[in-house]
Amino acid sequence: MLPTLEAAPLAATAGGTVSFGTAAESTFEAAPSRDKTLPERLISLSLVCDAVVIAYGMIIAFWARFHSRIAEIGVPDSMALRDYAGYIAFGSLALIVILASRGLYGRNMLLRLRTVSLEILKASLVWAAAFLAISLALKFHPPISRIYVVIASLLTPALLLWWRWAFHSLVSHSEAVTSLQQRILFVGWNDESQKLADHFASDQGSAYAVVGCIGSMRSRFQRKPQTAVLGRYNDLTEIIQRHAVDMVVLTDLNCVKGDIVGLANICEREMVTFKLIPSYFQILVSGLHLETVSGIPILGVSRLPLDRCFNQAVKRAVDIVGASVGLVLSVPLIAIFGAIVFWESPGPIFYRQRRLGLGGREFEILKIRSMKLDAEKNGRAGWTTKNDPRRLAIGAFMRKWNIDEVPQFWNVLMGDMSLVGPRPERPELIRNFKHEIPHYNARHNAIPGITGWAQVNGLRGDTDLTERIKCDLWYQENWSLMLDLQIMFMTFFKRDNAC
């Protein structure tokens, strides 16, 4: 729980002005007029226009395939538009369903052109494969042209993106933005409130706008608000009405059950959304899961992506294939650099070191030695630092290009490590970290990796451990196969500057 900061008491002044210490004063000014039905109308418009654009895209693709210069490729039969009417209707409906399943027709998407564009591209890839596969499997007559599918798969998304760009340009430069953005009022103010407010302010396509905050029911602000303080909690109903609030967000969980229920009831009466920031779950928040046991709702940190058996199996399969290929390809590297290490510092070329793995279990990590043989002769373990005097001349080069990590493909093959994951740490260096650094041990819920999100962001060796942990936790929350591939790709171009 964040420490409570001392704050000047709220004081009502003439005319309804409320002040908070030295915070800027705010008055009860009427919010701009807003058409609350506009978002639904725009969503319906976007849905209808998307369907029309998709249908026209498939019709144009039909003309390009059968009535242009490429008509003779494959010697197709003479086709009329009515022959492909079923394909066009089926394809249009399928793409609309896929777009809808990806949440494209939600209010929060109306101002987010980049997100909409990415979802259209992802949906189009799925649609193209499914459209061709289902059409061939069901054996429609006439048989569908593969060239037609390729043309439609390229042309239709391009037209959709062009139409969505025009739609976004029209909407974002009109007064409709006022009605589309959901106006947020915070009850209480803390670090999470500030982060959200900063994010909304920096995002030009944000679907949210912060109108201000009020004090909570029983405690003072946990930090000085950087937004307008609109009044006291007792004024909540009037504030909601005057400022056309769409959403009330509770940030202070020091309230008793009755206070929270009362706040939720006010929001229900005023027909505004009620949310709360789960400050008690400051890690792995994307894993929060609500389930019902004997009719009682229970909220807790539950399944993360890598908790699922299928995802574990996919990741392990990629590890086995990648480690096998990596070992074969790295034999010349190990031989060359092992010989250089032995020439510079006669002795073992491999270095074994105890590290902590999944669940805190210890294992021996394998590396090409980059330090002198007596690097820890004083018996004290320590992280490597920039210009570390203990390193070999070739060791600096190997660490800069991560060549010393190559033998760890063997650790991956044995199951102690993964290609991608949090870097394993030495037990003697982190023995007390679980008591000193919040959420430290949560990083051990994933198999450690040769590379990871922290490493490709420059956090390795003697760097900020708190930031490394944040990266590791973010990776666990957001794992996907594509993220692993992205990190592996970035590793080849990210040199280690902390060696």
Comparing C-alpha atoms, which of 419, 420, 421, 437 is closest to residue 429?
Answer: 437
Amino acid code (one letter) for 19: S
Specify the range with the lowest mean pLDDT, choosing from 39-43, 63-67, 372-376: 372-376
Identify the DSSP state of 225: -
Nearest partner of 470 among 437, 428, 432, 436, judged by Cα: 437
What per-residue confidence (pLDDT) applies to 373? 77
Contact 357, 447 (CB under 8 A): yes
Q: Across all residues in the chain, what is the average pLDDT? A: 78
How much is the average pLDDT of 104-111? 80
Q: Token pair of 35, please?
A: 């058409």
Whether residue 36 is predicted with pLDDT greater than 60 in this model: the reply is: yes
What does 26-64 look like in DSSP terms, one character per residue? B--PPPPP--TTHHHHHHHHHHHHHHHHHHHHHHHHHHH
Q: Comparing 250-254, 315-319, 493-497, which segment has the lowest mean pLDDT? A: 493-497
* 391 secondary structure, DSSP code: B
- What is the C-alpha separation between 110 and 172, in angstroms, rounded? 9
Question: Which residues, at least 6 apart from 362, have a Cβ–Cβ distance to it below 8 Å?
Answer: 354, 355, 356, 427
Q: What is the per-residue pLDDT for 361? A: 87
Range of weakest confidence among 405-409, 410-414, 471-475: 471-475
Q: Would you tell me how many other CB atoms lie within 10 Å of the CB of residue 7?
A: 18
**pLDDT value at position 143?**
77
Strand 362-368 versus strand 350-356 pairing type: antiparallel
Local structure of 282: helix, strand or coil: coil
Give the rounded distance of the alpha carbon of 134 from its chain centre: 32
> What is the pLDDT, as a whole number, of residue 53?
94
As annotated, the residues of the chain forming the CATH 3.40.50.720 domain(s) are 11-30+181-280
Residue 350 is inside which H or E element, if any?
A: strand 350-356
And the tokens for 279?
A: 């400050």
420-464, pLDDT tens digit by residue?
Answer: 999 888 887 666 676 677 667 777 788 999 989 888 887 766 566
In whole angstroms, give the CA distance from residue 499 to residue 385.
Answer: 6
Sort 323 into a burial class: Cβ within 10 Å, 0-12 / 13-18 / 19+.
buried
Residues ≥6 apart with Cβ < 8 Å to 145 = 65, 66, 74, 76
Most confident of 28-42, 110-124, 284-298: 110-124
Cα distance between residue 181 and residue 432, in whole Å:
46
Q: What is the pLDDT of residue 44?
A: 87
Share of the chain above pLDDT 90, in %: 17
Confidence of residue 271 (pLDDT cuts 50, 70, 90): confident
Pairing state of beta strands 362-368 and 208-214? Answer: unpaired
CB 5 within 8 A of CB 188: no
What is the tens place of the pLDDT at every residue in 163-189? Answer: 999 998 888 777 766 667 788 888 888
Q: Is 383 exposed, middle or buried (0-12, 13-18, 19+ CB in 10 A)?
A: middle
Which pLDDT score, from 0 to 100, does residue 28 have?
41
| Each residue's pLDDT tens digit, 210-269 | 888 888 776 677 777 878 888 888 888 888 888 888 888 888 667 667 778 888 888 888
Give residue 477's pLDDT: 82
Q: Is the pLDDT of residue 51 over 90?
A: yes
Third-level CATH fold of 11-30+181-280: Rossmann fold (3.40.50)
pLDDT-derived band at 414 (thresholds 50, 70, 90) equals very high
Query: With contact defined as beta carbons under 8 Å apart, do 4 and 219 qualify?
Result: yes
pLDDT at 280 over 80: no
Q: What percent of the chain stands above pLDDT 70?
A: 74
pLDDT of 68 over the 90 cut: no
Q: How confident is the model at residue 390 (pLDDT cuts 50, 70, 90)?
A: confident
